[in-house]
Amino acid sequence: MSDFLAIYDRATEDGHMQRRIAVACALVATDVFAEQPSIPARITWARAAVSNASTMAGKMSFAVVARLIALDRDETDAQIRDVVASLVDHYSLA
């Protein structure tokens, strides 16, 4: 279990993690574009993610890091992508 400051640092100051989350956002966005039937809120999220993946990564970083810690798993690229994909509905409604 990480303490709150460690989570904060991981979510905001770890440039490596931010870049990995940004790539995951862009990849998940391409999956959302291919979904049938398309859901307008998810398409809106995907457009925002593709147009500025770094901004979307910044918005999602706390949730992604917290979920990874809760899952208590290694932070592989696949794990990060799965977590981003699991959060799209939450962020598409914001």
- Tens digits of residue pLDDT in 48-62: 999 999 999 999 999
Output helix, strand, coil percentages for the chain, rounded to the nearest 5. 80, 0, 20
The tokens for 44 are 């809106």
pLDDT value at residue 94? 61
Distance CA 58, CA 44 (A): 17
Mean pLDDT for 6-35 is 93
pLDDT value at residue 13? 85
Residue 1 has pLDDT above 60, yes or no: no
Residue-averaged pLDDT of the chain: 92
Residue 4 has pLDDT above 90, yes or no: no
Rounded to 5 degrees, φ, ψ at 85 are -60, -35
Mean pLDDT for 37-58 is 96
Asked which of 16-25, 45-54, 66-75, 76-85 is least confident by mean pLDDT, the reply is 66-75
Q: CB-based burial of residue 94 (10 Å sphere; 0-12 exposed, 13-18 middle, 19+ buried)?
A: exposed
Mean pLDDT for 20-43 is 97
